[in-house]
Every structure is written in C-alpha cells, then in structure tokens.
Amino acid sequence: MKIPKRIEPLIEDGLVDAVIRQLMSGKEAMVFVVRCGQEIRCAKVYKEANKRSFRQAIDYTEGRKTKNSRQARAMAKGTRYGRHVQEQSWQSAEVDALHRLAAAGVRVPKPYHFHEGVLLMELVTDEHGNAAPRLNELDFTEEQARTHHYALMIQVVRMLCAGVVHGDLSEFNVLLGSEGPVIIDLPQAVDAASNAHASSMLERDVCNLTNYFGRFAPELLTTEYGKEIWALYEHGALHREVELTGCFKHSMKPVDLGSVVREIDDARAEDAARRLRMQG
C-alpha cells in the first residue's frame, strides 16, 4: 500500500521497512501494520489536535510535569507554542505509560520507538497469529466473562501499583490476545498520586469493564472492585498479588460537612495560587 506521509521518516531512518495495511482509525490516531526487518509490528500515527474527537480535558492533564516554567506558562495561556508543547506532552504520555507499565508486568503492547509523532510498538495477536480483536467485537460465556473480568481487575491493580490510572478504560480499548486481555490506548493515562481525579477515573474504568462483562455474567454487576482497589491503595495495602473480593464496606460514619467545605476552600485557594505562579 501507499506509505502514509507520517511514516515516511521511519522508513528513511530504517525503523520501518514496509507498510502492510491499515489496521484501524480511531478518535485519536490511525494504526498501521508494518514490517520491521523480520518482525511484524504496528505503527500508531497520532492525529493532529484539531482532527481528534478526544479532547485533552484538564482532568487528564492535571499533575503532568512540564520541562520548565516557560512551557507551563505557555500551556496555561494557550499560545501557539503552548499548544505545541501540550500536543507533545499528550503523545509522549502514552509512550511513558507503556514503558512504565511494561516494566511493571502489566499486559500492554511493548513499545519500541517513538519518532516524529509515530509510536512503533508490538502487534498484539490472537492464537492464530492474526491481529487481536477488541473486546467489544466478541461474545463470551459466563465463565469466560468472569475469567477475563478478573484478569483485567488484576491488571488495573498492577497499573495502580505502578502509579498509573488508565482514565478511559472500556471494552473498546482492550484487545484479547493469545495469552489474555491486553490494555491499549493510554495517551490520557494519569498519575495516581498527583491527579485529584484519579480515584473517580479508576472507579469509572472498572465500572465500564464490569458493565460490559456483566452482560454475559450478570452477577458481576453487584461487585465493587473499583472502590475496593482504591481503598486498598489509599491504605497502603495494595500490592501486585493482592486477592480481590469485589466487596467494599461502606462507612456509616456521618459526614463532617464543615471539614468538607474547608477542604474545598483550601483546594480553591491552592488552585488560585498555582495559576498566579504560572502567570508570573
């Protein structure tokens, strides 16, 4: 097939030998199957910001570090340079997350190179050697649904142990590879320790998967893995080999509204001070 313009630099630099076919086109990128020497891999070509449907919401970018204060000010002001820096940060976030998670033993595609806005990574395959399908393309028995659901809960745990929350996890960005589910699409991944929305994002990720697999195994709909996982994390009791129950004991202690209001006011004051520092 004709070589996409964005992949040409990888051909010129000897990272890619041939483009075999387009694998998919999503809201943030196009993915191509490519040949690199004797290996078949995939190349993820990120779409330009104005051509993507997934916006870089502040909830996702909160807590991400920039190289210097100039870049932070430019991003805050929305200048042309700031938008360029933000775009680079958005793309490199997935590369960083993949390296971090692969090293932690999480089932994600192995990253090889990131060059000129193109991520070269492992092509996940099924038991027949074909490109692995997404979960949303498949049907499962009750037993299969329970097995894959629990396997993904363990992957969510291992991600959190590595300090990462996916932030947009669902049946649309999990592949069923020859050795089980593989998590993909991580440009919106957030740092669990520095993002105030991490807990709600993790619960949403888990809820999305539970609702999907609950179509095949309805008993999963009564589980509360998201709350259980985050509670273990908050109490320093989360580890890679933790045995999850899917149960969560809700506190019946009355809410101290005064403390809640004070925390909100403190958070607002801190945010206002941060914005002033960024503008300085």
Q: Look at residue 257 and tell me if it is in a domain.
A: no
pLDDT at position 265 is 76
* Distance between CA atoms of residues 125 and 139, nearest Å: 18
Is 226 domain-assigned? yes
CA 164 – CA 158 distance, rounded (Å): 9
The verdict on residue 9 lying in a domain is yes
Question: Measured between alpha carbons, how far is 183 from 107 in angstroms, rounded to an integer?
Answer: 6
What CA–CA distance (Å, rounded) separates 121 from 34? 10
Owner of token pair 């949303």: 136
Q: Supply the DSSP symbol for 26.
A: -
Q: How far is residue 159 from each of residues 59, 132, 202, measured CA to CA in Å?
A: 19, 21, 10
In a domain, 264, yes or no: no
Into how many domains does the chain fold? 1
Residue 241 in domain? no
Helix, strand, coil shares of the chain, percent, nearest 5, are 45, 20, 35
Can you give the pLDDT at residue 278?
Answer: 57
Range of the domain at 79: 5-234
Which of the 8 DSSP states describes residue 134?
A: B
Residue 230 confidence (pLDDT): 97
Tokens found for residue 166:
């996916």
Which pLDDT score is estimated for 130? 95
Of the residues 96, 185, 191, 205, which is catalytic? 185
Q: Is 256 helix (H, G, I), strand (E, B) or coil?
A: coil
State the CATH number of the domain containing residue 166. 1.10.510.10
Q: What is the DSSP letter of 132?
A: P
- How confident is the model at residue 274, as a pLDDT? 64
Q: What is the pLDDT of residue 75?
A: 44
Closest CA to 91 of 63, 38, 54, 123: 54
- Indicate whether 245 belongs to any domain: no
Of 12, 63, 167, 173, nearest to 107 by C-alpha is 173
**168 assigned to active site:** yes
pLDDT of residue 280: 55
Residue 265 domain flag: no
The pLDDT value recorded for residue 51 is 46
Q: Is residue 39 part of a domain?
A: yes
Across the chain, which has 280 residues, the per-10-residue mean pLDDT values are 90 95 89 96 83 48 52 51 57 88 96 92 96 97 98 98 96 97 94 94 98 98 98 96 92 63 73 64
Cβ-based neighbours of 37, under 8 Å, separated by 6 or more: 17
pLDDT for res 105: 94
User: Known catalytic residue: 205?
Assistant: no
The residue from 13, 17, 139, 168 that is catalytic is 168
- Give the separation between CA 88 and CA 225, rounded to whole angstroms: 34
